């Protein structure tokens, strides 16, 4: 009787142990619904890296821009002859160092460009409409319409923007700090984080088109750091 009781006790311990082990395996096999897939989230929210091609059209000329973007570095090629002609003049922007360098391939020279600190305009004549409720797909991107007007300048610019990971763009515009209206008007808009204009059209108050700037291709791809360096053999224009 005593031996049978000991045997039953041992069997009970073994069964309890097996049940505990089984429950542990089941729990460990269950997916953790509270744990996010950070690799996918980080990849989705990573800043844009790659190439963006623009075409700028006015009533008198056409200019082709190619942007190369990697982190805080941006290179722009500017060509008035064709979209992919060799030897285009270029500019190197470093958003962290706040520097701009102009490249002249035809002369194999470069020049440091003076940077003027950006100061947001306090012009009260700007009128900004972000919730137009208009949307359309452009170059495969879902875009919404924003409009910025300035009655004193007799100008309205319509931006068709897409929301994404183009975090560089407003900082880039501030560093370049151009006086042309497409940049100035866009920087009047608040909460630009990640938004990017696929198409922008400048018109007069009478709806006459003055200029159109449109993205024609966006290529997501890793870029070599050498793209954003002064090419070997280039001389400083100021020396």
Intervals of the chain under pLDDT 70? 1-44
Count of positions (residues) in the chain: 239
Q: For the segment 76-127, what is each residue's pLDDT rounded down to a tens digit?
A: 999 987 877 888 999 999 999 999 999 999 999 999 999 999 998 888 889 9
Identify the pLDDT of residue 57: 96
- Tally DSSP H helices, then E strands, for the chain: 4, 13
Domains annotated on the chain, with CATH: 48-223 (2.50.20.10)
**Cα–Cα nearest to 15, from 23, 25, 26:** 23
Identify the pLDDT of residue 25: 36
Listed in sequence order, the DSSP H helices in 61-212 are 168-176, 181-186
């Amino acid at each position: 009787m005593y031996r049978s009781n000991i045997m039953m006790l041992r069997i009970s311990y073994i069964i309890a142990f097996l049940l505990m082990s089984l429950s542990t395996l089941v729990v460990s096999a269950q997916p953790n619904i509270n744990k996010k897939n950070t690799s996918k989230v980080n990849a989705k929210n990573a800043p844009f890296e790659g190439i963006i091609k623009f075409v700028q059209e006015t009533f008198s000329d056409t200019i082709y821009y190619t942007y190369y973007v990697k982190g805080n570095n941006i290179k722009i090629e500017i060509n008035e002859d064709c979209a992919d002609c060799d030897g285009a003049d270029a500019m190197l922007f470093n958003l962290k160092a706040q520097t701009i360098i102009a490249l002249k391939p035809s002369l194999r020279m470069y020049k440091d460009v003076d940077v003027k600190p950006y100061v947001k305009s306090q012009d009260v004549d700007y009128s900004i409409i972000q919730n137009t409720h208009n949307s359309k797909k452009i170059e495969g991107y879902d875009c919404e319409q924003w409009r910025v007007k300035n009655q004193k300048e007799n100008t309205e610019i319509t931006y068709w923007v897409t929301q994404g990971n183009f975090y560089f763009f407003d900082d880039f515009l501030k560093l370049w700090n151009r006086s042309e209206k497409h940049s100035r008007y866009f920087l009047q808009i608040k909460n630009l984080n990640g938004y990017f204009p696929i198409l922008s059209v400048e018109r007069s108050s009478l709806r006459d088109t003055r200029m159109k700037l449109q993205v024609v291709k966006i290529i997501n791809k890793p870029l070599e750091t050498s793209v954003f360096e002064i090419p070997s053999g280039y001389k400083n224009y100021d020396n």
